[in-house]
Amino acid sequence: MQEFKVMKYVIEYNEIKCLSIREAKKHILNCDGIRLDEMKVKDLTYHNDEFIYPGSGVYIFRNGKQIVYVGKCSSMSFTERIAKHFDLRKVAWMNRLLKLICERIQGNKVTDDNLKIASKYAFENLSLVLINFKERDRIDRTERMFRATYKEALNTFKKLKIRDESVVVELY
């Protein structure tokens, strides 16, 4: 009988809220993540056959162990928000991941055709980690914290930097 490895790509906020920012970042990097080319819509609603409730929070796209993009969904679910990143139309306004891949990784102008190329790159190279929040009141601050500390992320803040990563996540 073949054994299947249980893949972990969902972290509950309660798992990291009492950790330092540095420890939380390690926890995220040690999480398996789910490869985009293997992911199904179901994987944004269920994790290992358990409902991801409420299914909103912070999400992180990675290329291996490198953080590529940090985002949030507080007014919609992971299922709704993640899919919007892959809209191949230049006029779409929630496909920021593809536009940044197009411009900063591939060095291309954002066009419908170049967004298709960026999409292919994302599906072939990126994986996803979800941080699920039972209460929504910390989503914005936590996303801001990770964007400020992951300097390699395509959507990092240019001016906001967190120098002291010993701060506890919940206290940021």
Mean pLDDT of 43-54: 95
Q: Is residue 41 packed enough to be buried (19+ CB in 10 Å), middle (13-18) or exposed (0-12)? A: exposed
Structural domain boundaries enclosing 75: 10-85+127-163
| pLDDT at site 6 | 59
Number of domains in the chain: 1
Is 102 domain-assigned? no
pLDDT given for residue 135 in this prediction: 92
- Mean of the pLDDT values across residues 44-51? 95
- Half-sphere exposure of residue 165: CA atoms within 13 angstroms, side-chain side: 13
From the CB of residue 80, how many other CB atoms can be counted at a distance below 10 Å?
Answer: 14
Is 112 among the domain residues?
A: no
Neighbours of 40 (CB within 10 A): 9
Name the helix (H) or strand (E) containing 71: strand 66-73
How far is the C-alpha of 80 from the C-alpha of 163, rounded, in Å?
A: 33
Query: Confidence class of residue 1 from pLDDT cuts 50, 70 and 90?
Result: very low
In this structure, is residue 2 part of a structural domain?
Answer: no
| DSSP-derived secondary structure letter, 167 | S
In the chain, which ranges are continuous DSSP H helix? Answer: 13-16, 21-30, 78-84, 96-100, 112-125, 139-149
* Residue 69 belongs to a domain: yes
User: How confident is the model over 111-130, as pLDDT tens digits?
Assistant: 999 999 999 999 999 999 99
Q: Which pLDDT score is estimated for 163?
A: 85
Q: Is residue 37 part of a domain?
A: yes
> To the nearest whole number, what is the mean pLDDT of the chain?
94
Task: Give domain status of residue 121, yes or no.
Answer: no
